[in-house]
Structure 1
Amino acid sequence: MWIPTPLGPLWLEVSPFGVRRLEPVLFLRGEEARGSLARAVRERVEAYFAGERPNFLDLPLDYAGFSPARVAVYERVRRIPYGKTESYGRLARELGLAPRAVGAALRACPFFLLVPAHRVIHADGRLGGFQGQEGLKRWLLAFEGALDLHPDR
């Protein structure tokens, strides 16, 4: 299923275990996601871009094939509140990982918005990478009113 947004379409794939993928795309692909989970994801994404602050935490994610460390990063990042940021370093210390490991996990994250990787920035306030789309990260943080915040507050 594709979900139209102000940033372009997002592609959604679901499995019997949860969301497999939600990511920005240029071209649609695969079979269209159907069912109550797909509808719930679409409704929440639309609510997000309508300026509401939907909670994505109850949407199940399909972590099949992911390492325990990567799952731990995603589950921790899912809990960063709307409009707030945290640093790669703080998350790394909390999870017992290197900051680069946190960055690598987020760079490979297939769960756009559901795992709000855009809310993780450097301790000095630099945004850091976002799969080569730093402008997208800046847009999302500005949309949430988080650009003027320091990480870890």
Structure 2
Amino acid sequence: MQTGSCKFGLWKVIVSWEGNTVHQVQFVRTAPAGAVPVPFTKFLAGKTDSFSPLVSSAVSGDSAYARIYRAVAEIPYGETRTYREIALAADTHPRVVGNAMAKNPTALIVPCHRVVAADGTLGGFTPDLQIKKDLLKLEAANKREKN
């Protein structure tokens, strides 16, 4: 397994992966130096909307969380879905979706920042809600540029 980090604003993004499978993504203040897969640096710089060919290890299997992570992974770049919409797609309850998002081991690959409450509020994001705001802002700006 390889581990490295890159920057996103004031945060560092630690990525652990093996081949094309990403096992963990974390936002932290300090991190050891080391390269990350190129799609991460391109995505965080607003130069791509895809992590291809990378995949999340969290989408494997038929557990409720795996179904949720697969549904979230299908949310198009620059768009959002509600916890309820994801719950319907994954055949579960919105509260279970919220719990899965809080435990998402591969943020960005499984773009939990694109899941919001039905009333439009953002919900949460670990470790700081500002990261979610910044990711949504980055995607909105880049989507406008492409259209």
Give the TM-score band, short-chain normalised: 0.7 to 0.9
1:124 maps to amino acid: D
| Partner SS for 1:125 | coil
Structure 2, unmatched stretches of 5+, are 142-147
Matched, 1:18 2:13: no
| Partner SS for 2:140 | coil
* 1:91-140 superposed Cα distances (whole Å, 9 cap, x missing partner): 11221111010010011011121111000001111111112522211111
TM-score w.r.t. the length of structure 2 is: 0.80
* 1:35-79 superposed Cα distances (whole Å, 9 cap, x missing partner): xxx5xx3x1121112222331253132239987111111111111
Counterpart of 1:133 in structure 2 is 128
Q: What is the aligned-residue identity percentage?
A: 31
Matched, 1:72 2:67: yes
Q: 20-29 vs 75-84, which deviates more?
A: 20-29
**Residue of structure 1 aligned with 2:118, choices 100, 107, 123:** 123
Total equivalences in the alignment: 138
Instruction: Give distance in 2, aligned partners of 1:28 and 1:84.
Output: 30
Checking the alignment, whether the CA contact within 8 Å between 1:19 and 1:61 is kept in structure 2 is yes
Give the aligned CA root-mean-square deviation in angstroms: 2.6
Checking the alignment, whether the CA contact within 8 Å between 2:68 and 2:90 is kept in structure 1 is yes
Matched, 1:58 2:58: no
Given the superposition, is the C-alpha separation of residues 119 and 7 from structure 1 closer, same or farther in structure 2, using an over 3 Å criterion?
farther
Instruction: Give distance in 1, aligned partners of 2:51 and 2:136.
Output: 17
Structure 1, unmatched stretches of 5+, are 147-153
Given the superposition, is the C-alpha separation of residues 77 and 127 from structure 1 closer, same or farther in structure 2, using an over 3 Å criterion?
same
| Partner SS for 2:76 | coil
Checking the alignment, whether the CA contact within 8 Å between 2:60 and 2:66 is kept in structure 1 is no
Which has more helix, going by share of residues? 2
Checking the alignment, whether the CA contact within 8 Å between 1:107 and 1:130 is kept in structure 2 is yes
Which has more strand, going by share of residues? 2
